[in-house]
Chains A and B, each alone.
Chain A
């Protein structure tokens, strides 16, 4: 087997004879030359990705004021930074919204403003101790004024990511962008063929201490990222770099509508082609990288998978879901991912970027388990009223009125002959029909687009539905859409007052 060493490659980088290609060129090269030929010809493959990476932030050291302050609470342009470390150290997280402009300006925007050379307004509250007597402080700082501004991102560069669609009947605004109702579109993220980890899925090279391209500067892999899960093909990286060296071309603040701020970051990793196995791994194509399209219409942790697709399918512009062509588009930028891979390639070719030998390779086993929840919240079935009265759609409204008067409720679910939920009538609907002097069938006045809840649904979701649609009751239905109960805003408010 053809083998090469990292120091040989670094020597070639120094003497200008190194051969570097971008990861999208590798599949054809390996087809043409074979893995052994590719090891002979190619020294380094550069990868790149450019997308929203929420789990990002910066450690900032402000220097000591006079009198000195031990910061308890700090705001940069009204965005709170965490001060629970040493006196003038802060951690500014990318997704923290500002207290004045909300999600339109957040931690990511402060980071971009700093990198763009802008001044930020710092406000701090101190603890007031004998050694740090200062209680309050205001100052204006630029990036150069901080002693250190070190980016430390707990989870970046996902190997790949689940694509998103929405089966529900309303538009959803998510961190996967605007998802149109009834499978109206699919959004995906990730660079596919250029994705760093997809080109080194077994961590033959990437490890602790790997030098990378991060936001336009040279950064390093610290280790595996949070929720690192190589077993399922969802590996992640924790990375660090000096913010002062970064560029606002590769660090871009974003706001996802009705979700929050995030930071788009450009990350590129060079992969040395030391042996045939690495040549084969970097020959991965979009069609080899599979991911799930999951349904964000189901607001639960375990969102159902609608379909398994490849990045080739996603990048084609449409996929088929339930016999219908659905448009796809990306949230990460493939154009910028290419630019990152090219930029990294150029800096290796001109001898500015040498490859490091990792101190330790990354773990091939990780953990992305669900949260252990020790406090149980009730489900709909624990709170709903079970003595629900329903009416058939083919009765007259005066009978429906009698049913309402007989019970003590304002909502009457309407069912079909075979007992399935068809609609709902309220006391208001009936009063309106009577006021109009018309005796009609229930089916003529009922609301047909009826929202319902499932018995095993957490009450938070039922409460959110009541709020979203400005309604006060939801019929609870089983899997066959048969009404088994009713949950009302009264049931939910009783939970808080403890009267059950």
Chain B
């Protein structure tokens, strides 16, 4: 499952991920991280059984954590099922099924490549 972390300015310099991994012994995959001097936004993949523990460990450290259940949403009226989103996605979220574009939202890491790549402007990222 995917967790999105919003790291506030005051704690962005602390080794948050490392300390949560040591505390929870969770196998964590960093899917995406954008961190600058003042804040950070990180997407982590965590096994479902560890998800709650990891989420709480981050929250105790002052990190805002959101479970990404539907990371990207599609306006069904706008989508023409062209497929411009299919090959630009780094994690293979979209595929054709009988020439309809279907999405496996669980794979999305909210990089936004599909949003700019969609000619119909049918896609948008949740919480962005």
Report the interface size for chain B: residues with CB under 8 A from the other chain: 20
The interface centre, meaning the residue of B82, B98, B100 with most chain A CB atoms within 10 A of its CB, is B82
Report A304-348 CB contacts with B as 1/0, cut-off 8 Å. Answer: 000000000000010000000001111111111010000000000
Looking at B34-42, B61-69, B84-92, the stretch in contact with chain A turns out to be B84-92
The dominant DSSP class at the B interface is loop
Could you tell me the distance between the alpha carbons of A182 and B37 in the complex, rounded to whole angstroms?
A: 31
Contacts of A178 in B (CB 8 A): 84, 88, 113, 116-117
Complex partner residue of A330 from B83, B95, B100, B120, CB under 8 angstroms: B83
**Chain B nearest CB: distance from A103 CB in Å?**
11
Task: Tell me, yes or no, whether B32 is within 8 Å of chain A by CB.
Answer: no
The interface centre, meaning the residue of A178, A329, A330 with most chain B CB atoms within 10 A of its CB, is A329
The interface centre, meaning the residue of B84, B100, B113 with most chain A CB atoms within 10 A of its CB, is B84
Task: Tell me, yes or no, whether B81 is within 8 Å of chain A by CB.
Answer: yes
Q: Would A187 and B116 be within 8 Å (CB), given that A50-B80, A335-B99 are in contact?
A: no
Task: Tell me, yes or no, whether B119 is within 8 Å of chain A by CB.
Answer: yes
Task: Tell me, yes or no, whether B121 is within 8 Å of chain A by CB.
Answer: yes
Q: Contact check, B120 vs A329: say whether CB atoms are below 8 A apart.
A: no
Contacts of A254 in B (CB 8 A): 119-121
**Chain B nearest CB: distance from A315 CB in Å?**
9
**Chain B nearest CB: distance from A225 CB in Å?**
21
**Chain A nearest CB: distance from B79 CB in Å?**
9
Report B52-84 CB contacts with A as 1/0, cut-off 8 Å. Answer: 000000000000000000000000000011111
Q: Would A252 and B84 be within 8 Å (CB), given that A173-B116, A178-B113, A264-B119 are in contact?
A: no
Contacts of A473 in B (CB 8 A): none
Q: Contact check, B87 vs A327: say whether CB atoms are below 8 A apart.
A: yes
Q: Would A177 and B84 be within 8 Å (CB), given that A254-B120, A334-B99 are in contact?
A: yes
Q: Contact check, A264 vs B87: say whether CB atoms are below 8 A apart.
A: no
Q: Contact check, A336 vs B80: say whether CB atoms are below 8 A apart.
A: yes
Contacts of B81 in A (CB 8 A): 333-336
The dominant DSSP class at the A interface is strand
A262 (CB) vs chain B CBs: closest residue? B119
Could you tell me the distance between the alpha carbons of A50 and B95 in the complex, rounded to whole angstroms?
A: 19
Q: Would A177 and B80 be within 8 Å (CB), given that A317-B96, A327-B86, A335-B100 are in contact?
A: no
Within 8 A of B (CB), among A232-257: 252, 254-257
Q: Would A177 and B117 be within 8 Å (CB), given that A331-B83, A332-B82 are in contact?
A: yes
Contacts of A332 in B (CB 8 A): 82
Report A11-25 CB contacts with B as 1/0, cut-off 8 Å. Answer: 000000000000000
**Chain A nearest CB: distance from B76 CB in Å?**
13
**Chain B nearest CB: distance from A416 CB in Å?**
34
Complex partner residue of A329 from B80, B86, B121, CB under 8 angstroms: B86
Could you tell me the distance between the alpha carbons of A265 and B95 in the complex, rounded to whole angstroms?
A: 23
Contacts of B82 in A (CB 8 A): 51, 264, 330-333
Within 8 A of B (CB), among A163-200: 173, 177-178, 180, 185-187
Contacts of B100 in A (CB 8 A): 335
Task: Tell me, yes or no, whether A271 is within 8 Å of chain B by CB.
Answer: no
